[in-house]
């Protein structure tokens, strides 16, 4: 507190004047903070508007057909992102199919006292760390370690279940399935952290109430706790979906960047993000415009998903 004493009006200085400058200073600081805060919204808006405006020329040239065209041909300047939209959604769907049950399961396992704290804490930390690994490093690992490791399984799937459309093409390591698998691991920390948070935040009485009725532990979890934490869990899944759709480097390195739509998950494909990452370097003016249009589509998709996620999670917190 001694530092504050120095700030009381000094002798020999007019009290009024001191108060005046201090107030002006205080006010400007307040407004600076306000500007900083509102600036966050401003940045968000700026990004949206900027990308939207830059995409405008391409929107004018290609219109809505851009969404339904399956060619990406810089030579003839024909551009469409249907295969990329397809690949974005399919790889994200694969990731969610795996990550939802696993993520909720882990969230429950780590929110209950199945493990002593001394074990639970490092595991939770390790899961948080998955989110910290740079995606190029995951991509590098995916190319040289994971794909060779998965190849025998892919061959097995193709040879034995090739009659199912999902596995009907000879496996190349780079594929929507590989991307989906890696994405599932990458989005797990999001699902686990937020779901676990909303499970832990549930009132203790709820669990006691169920157990006091003779419910087993898992009956309590599945029928009372998970439904009660439902919106938090759904919100976490939405956030994870947004993350999966926007992931770039892993997609660019593992999906194969092939401009096609096939039902086979073993076939290479592309996502919007991987298209932008892999094409931008060599792109001429026309193609850059088309890529900005693709970026706008990605932004709209992820904005919708993220805004929904936020609304769901906020609603949940307000109920608490």
Phi, psi of 118 (to 5 degrees): -65, -25
Which 75-114 residues touch other proteins, going by CB under 8 A?
101-102, 105-106, 108-110, 113-114
Q: How far apart are CA 126 and CA 129, in angstroms?
A: 5
Task: Pick the closer one to other proteins by CB: 179 or 264.
Answer: 179
Contact between 22 and other proteins (CB under 8 A)? yes
256: left (phi over 0), alpha (psi -120 to 50) or beta: left
When binding is defined by CB under 8 A, the residue of 118, 212, 284, 320 that contacts other proteins is 212
CB of 77 to other proteins, least distance (A): 20
Contact between 20 and other proteins (CB under 8 A)? no
Number of Cβ within a 10 Å radius of residue 70: 14
Contact between 223 and other proteins (CB under 8 A)? yes
Residue with tokens 């969230």: 107
The answer to whether the CB of 76 falls within 8 A of the CB of 284 is: no
When binding is defined by CB under 8 A, the residue of 226, 247, 270, 312 that contacts other proteins is 247
Task: Pick the closer one to other proteins by CB: 136 or 200.
Answer: 136
CB of 162 to other proteins, least distance (A): 27
When binding is defined by CB under 8 A, the residue of 155, 200, 280, 315 that contacts other proteins is 280
Which 283-302 residues touch other proteins, going by CB under 8 A?
291-292, 295, 298-299, 302
Task: Pick the closer one to other proteins by CB: 92 or 176.
Answer: 92
Contact between 36 and other proteins (CB under 8 A)? yes
Angle at 224 between CA 221 and CA 229, to 5 degrees: 85
Angle at 89 between CA 98 and CA 96, to 5 degrees: 15
When binding is defined by CB under 8 A, the residue of 20, 65, 128, 159 that contacts other proteins is 128
Give, rounded to a whole angstrom, the gap between the first and last alpha carbons of the chain: 37
Contact between 200 and other proteins (CB under 8 A)? no
Burial of residue 7, with CB atoms counted within 10 A of its CB: 0-12 exposed, 13-18 middle, 19 or more buried: exposed
DSSP run (H or E) holding 79: strand 78-79
Which 156-195 residues touch other proteins, going by CB under 8 A?
185, 188, 192
């Amino acid at each position: 507190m001694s530092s504050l004493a120095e700030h009381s009006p000094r002798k020999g200085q007019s009290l009024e004047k001191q108060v005046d400058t201090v107030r002006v200073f205080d006010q400007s600081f307040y407004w600076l903070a306000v500007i900083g805060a509102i600036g966050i919204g401003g940045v968000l808006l700026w990004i949206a508007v900027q990308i939207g405006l830059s995409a405008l020329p391409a929107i004018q040239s290609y219109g809505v057909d851009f969404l339904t065209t399956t060619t990406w041909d810089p030579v003839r300047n024909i551009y469409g992102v249907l295969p990329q939209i397809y690949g974005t959604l399919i790889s994200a769907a694969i990731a969610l199919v795996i990550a939802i049950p696993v993520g909720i399961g882990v969230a429950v396992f780590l929110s209950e006292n199945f493990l002593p704290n001394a074990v639970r804490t490092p595991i939770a930390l390790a899961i948080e760390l998955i989110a910290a690994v740079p995606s190029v490093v995951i991509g590098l690992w995916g190319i040289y370690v994971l794909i060779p490791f998965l190849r025998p399984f892919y061959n097995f799937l193709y040879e034995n279940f090739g009659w199912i459309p999902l596995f009907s093409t000879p496996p190349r390591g780079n594929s929507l399935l590989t991307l989906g698998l890696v994405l599932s691991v990458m989005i797990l920390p999001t699902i686990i952290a937020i779901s676990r948070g909303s499970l832990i935040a549930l009132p203790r009485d709820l669990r006691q109430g169920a157990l006091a009725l003779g419910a087993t532990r898992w009956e309590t979890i599945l029928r009372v706790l998970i439904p009660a934490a439902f919106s938090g869990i759904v919100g976490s899944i939405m956030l994870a979906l947004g993350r999966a759709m926007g992931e770039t480097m892993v997609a660019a390195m593992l999906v194969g960047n092939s401009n096609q739509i096939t039902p086979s998950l073993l076939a290479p494909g592309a996502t919007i993000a991987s298209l932008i990452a892999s094409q931008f370097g060599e792109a001429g003016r026309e193609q850059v415009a088309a890529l900005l249009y693709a970026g706008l589509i990605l932004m709209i998709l992820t904005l919708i998903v993220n805004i929904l996620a936020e609304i769901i999670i906020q609603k949940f917190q307000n109920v608490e």
